A and B are shown apart, each in its own frame.
Chain A
Amino acid sequence: MTSPLRRAYEENSVLITVGSGGVGKTTVAATLALRAAMEGTASLVCTIDPAKRLANALGLEALGNQVTRIGDPVFARAGLAPRAPMDAMMLDMKRTWDEVIERRAPPDKREKILNNRFYQSLSTALAGSQEYVAMEKLCELRATSSAGLIVLDTPPTAHALDFLDAPNRILDFLDNESAKWLLTPALAAGKFGLKLFNLGGSYVAKTIARFTGTETLQALADFMLHMSGMNEGFRERAHQTRALLEAQSTSFVLVTGPMPDRLDEAVYFHTLLQQNKLRVAAVVVNRVHAPVADSLWAEVARLPPSLQPAFEKTLKENEHLARQDGRGIARLAEACAPTPLVLVPRFEADVHDLASLFETSRYLWGDARLEAAVVAR
């Protein structure tokens, strides 16, 4: 049987890793790109993780906001000789936003937008904004990159699938009916410095101003006015993004750890992806504790008595962890059926160099297989 991820590699040009933080999502993304390059498909892995984990994983100091080719010496040090090139990049949110504005905004509005303090918060702090630029970048990369496979690592989001919703949220922000109603007179008059809420009686305005300060609302109104010419561009990009996510050649890889709280989140993620009619190639369960072979217990029994307690204790602990994982995995498999599960064992050391990424890829590709501990439920 072909491993589901090998099949995903053969059938897709975009793979998107999703999952909660701390489960090894970035590692899986980098591993998929590395393996693709080893198999002869030029690949590109893009991460937006602020903790620079991918840079760690790839042994690079910094990736910056541009596509960087991983040099042959880096591979050679890991004893690897990929048959196709591998690129990596780490998304700089602020810079990507600036590029969006520079590309989309009418020339006379650019500076005004870039200097507006709401823009500055939008580009760094507005919820969903990080997710939005990731999608924006993915579309751009897919349109311009020659890589056969692009792997996008999504932010370790606390709010499940913010990124699916992100293009729509930005549109909602710019193209909201209430906003239009407010802005239309000012747009028609072609003037800035709109006197917000002068329109609809001052009771609402005064009360809100107590909450936020009048100037805040004024600055926000100005910002929206500057941005309003860009609606078409954003709408078009939102459709493109959605089309790319739903394309036959795009699949999601859901990554999770075997701990109970992680599994709940994974099931929730999986449900959301399915509700959105998005393809999930596989659920990767990372860092699974392998079951303890019966033969080990037999060997402990043959040890000198003085050595037995330490080994018994260790095996018991290992067994405990394997069973705990086994229970979770059985539950996950049932909840996510028919999406296949791919198990990756817990390695002795952290996976953070190319050699161990490649070792990990053997499990993703089905060269090696880990069976979860079988437990009575």
Chain B
Amino acid sequence: MLRSRARRVNVQPLVVAELDDKRLIVVTGKGGVGKTTVSAALGLSSARAGRRTLICEVNTQERISALLGKAPVGPEVTAIDENLWCVNARPQEAMREYALMILKFESIYNAVFENRLVRYFLRFIPSLQELVLLGKILFHLKEKRPDGSPRFDQIIVDAPATGHAITFLSVPQVILDTIPPGAMASEVSWMRDSLVDRATTAVVLVSLPEELPVNETLELHEALSKRVKMHPRVVVLNGFIEHRFSDGLPDGVPPSLKDVARAHEVRAALSGAAKERLASLQLPVLIVPRLYLPEFGKAAIEDVARRLAGAPS
């Protein structure tokens, strides 16, 4: 994105080098590891770096707008900050947009797609729902502004959790295996190609410093890179805890406090072990420390964004 670089004016741009030049960033991981927080933080950094950025949530209870201190945006792409747009892609609307894109005319859409019989069949074409959601998101990659430049420089997808993410991202390939060549197949193969193109798309794996989430991250990396053939580029280790009592404690410390110290050290050791295991993926591991904040709002997201970019706290 040479053009974007020229436009960037920040003294210290808060960007993650491995993601800097990618058009599409797919953020995924086990449920509850902080995917949404990381997506919001990456989106905010990208927008602050002067790139026109879209954050997509996928058919979920919308959270990004609230995290950034804004009202819900729903299924319409909505500007929420300078250079920053949000959308919560939902199948019903995505289906409509997608169909309109192919059919061009709303009257045809209404005549055909609002037909009860047709709706029934569309509903049961396997994975069509996921396909149109993905199609809508990827469509924004191709959108242009009047001057011919892309409408969005970077699109960040807050993707579903592990199992669903693999299903979701495999959909183009599954469809290609299912449908014969035709209008849809060429569109779908473009989608698949965009997802697996190393220069276009990067996957961010989010994990927590606990054994099972780390196991899942390793499995997810394997599944995404081997089966879906996408490219994980960074791992975010969220909720990291540093050692604090590793020098040992003098004799005078009462047992109850020794327990407190030991509990902390156990958590710190888990963090260290997680970092080491994730290092086996040979990807940069970005550390976000456990944050103790009264409210998890925009200030927290900004903090996380700084940590992701490797800035000191």
- Decide yes or no whether A158 CB sits under 8 A from chain B: yes
A156's contact among B161, B245, B252, by CB below 8 Å, is which? B161
Given known A-B contacts A207-B112, A217-B121, A21 and B161 have beta carbons under 8 A apart: yes
Q: Which residues of A contact B244 (CB under 8 A)?
A: 310, 313-314
Q: Which residues of B contact A216 (CB under 8 A)?
A: 125, 178-180, 182, 184
Q: Which residues of A contact B70 (CB under 8 A)?
A: none
Interface hit among A82-90, A144-152, A346-354:
A346-354
- Decide yes or no whether B257 CB sits under 8 A from chain A: yes
- Decide yes or no whether B63 CB sits under 8 A from chain A: yes
Beta-carbon contact of A118 and B263 below 8 Å:
no
Q: Which residues of B contact A181 (CB under 8 A)?
A: 117
Interface hit among A95-103, A172-180, A361-369:
A172-180
Give the CA-CA distance A293 to B179 in the complex, in Å.
63
Q: Which residue of A lies closest to B294 (CB)?
A: A320
Q: Which residues of A contact B252 (CB under 8 A)?
A: 303-304
Beta-carbon contact of A311 and B260 below 8 Å:
yes
Closest chain-A Cβ to B41's Cβ sits at a distance in Å of 16
- Decide yes or no whether B313 CB sits under 8 A from chain A: no
Beta-carbon contact of A314 and B108 below 8 Å:
no
Beta-carbon contact of B126 and A22 below 8 Å:
no
Q: Mark B33-45, 1 if CB is under 8 A from A, else 0.
A: 1001000000000
Q: Mark A14-58, 1 if CB is under 8 A from B, else 0.
A: 000000111100000000000000000000000001110100100
Q: Which residues of B contact A293 (CB under 8 A)?
A: 256
- Decide yes or no whether A74 CB sits under 8 A from chain B: no
Most chain-B Cβ atoms within 10 A of its Cβ — which of A118, A200, A216, A264?
A216
- Decide yes or no whether A122 CB sits under 8 A from chain B: yes
- Decide yes or no whether A117 CB sits under 8 A from chain B: yes
Give the CA-CA distance A260 to B36 in the complex, in Å.
13
Q: Which residues of B contact A349 (CB under 8 A)?
A: 211, 266, 270
Given known A-B contacts A315-B260, A320-B292, A121 and B127 have beta carbons under 8 A apart: yes
How many residues from A make CB contacts under 8 Å with B? Answer: 70
A213's contact among B32, B129, B181, B210, by CB below 8 Å, is which? B181
- Decide yes or no whether A261 CB sits under 8 A from chain B: yes
Interface hit among B73-81, B147-155, B212-220, B227-235:
B212-220
Beta-carbon contact of B180 and A210 below 8 Å:
no
Give the CA-CA distance A21 to B103 in the complex, in Å.
38
Q: Which residue of A lies closest to B259 (CB)?
A: A296
B185's contact among A122, A178, A213, A350, by CB below 8 Å, is which? A213
Give the CA-CA distance A264 to B163 in the complex, in Å.
22
B256's contact among A21, A257, A295, A321, by CB below 8 Å, is which? A295
Beta-carbon contact of B32 and A212 below 8 Å:
no
Q: Which residues of B contact A321 (CB under 8 A)?
A: 292
- Decide yes or no whether B146 CB sits under 8 A from chain A: no
Give the interface residue-count category, chain B: 35 or more
Q: Mark A201-240, 1 if CB is under 8 A from B, else 0.
A: 0011001111111111100100000000000000000000
Closest chain-B Cβ to A315's Cβ sits at a distance in Å of 7
Beta-carbon contact of B116 and A178 below 8 Å:
yes
- Decide yes or no whether B249 CB sits under 8 A from chain A: yes
Q: Mark B148-177, 1 if CB is under 8 A from A, else 0.
A: 000000000000111110010001001001
Closest chain-A Cβ to B158's Cβ sits at a distance in Å of 12
Q: Which residue of A lies closest to B174 (CB)?
A: A125
Beta-carbon contact of B219 and A51 below 8 Å:
yes
- Decide yes or no whether B102 CB sits under 8 A from chain A: yes
Q: Which residues of B contact A296 (CB under 8 A)?
A: 256-257, 260
Closest chain-B Cβ to A92's Cβ sits at a distance in Å of 14
- Decide yes or no whether B298 CB sits under 8 A from chain A: no
Give the CA-CA distance A49 to B162 in the complex, in Å.
11
Chain A residues close to B by CB (< 8 Å): 20-23, 49-51, 53, 56, 117-118, 120-122, 125-127, 155-156, 158, 173, 176, 178-179, 181-182, 200, 203-204, 207-217, 220, 257, 259-262, 264-265, 293, 295-296, 299-300, 303-304, 307, 310-311, 313-318, 320-321, 348-350, 352
A-B contacts, 7 listed (Cβ < 8 Å) = A22-B213, A51-B162, A118-B178, A155-B163, A178-B117, A212-B184, A310-B245
10 A-B pairs besides A211-B184, A350-B210 with CB distance below 8 A are A22-B30, A22-B31, A53-B212, A156-B31, A173-B124, A220-B124, A261-B32, A318-B260, A348-B266, A352-B212
Chain B residues close to A by CB (< 8 Å): 30-33, 36, 59-61, 63, 99, 102-103, 108, 111-112, 115-118, 120-121, 124-127, 129, 160-164, 167, 171, 174, 177-185, 210-213, 215-216, 219, 244-245, 249-250, 252-254, 256-257, 260-261, 263-264, 266-267, 270, 290, 292, 296
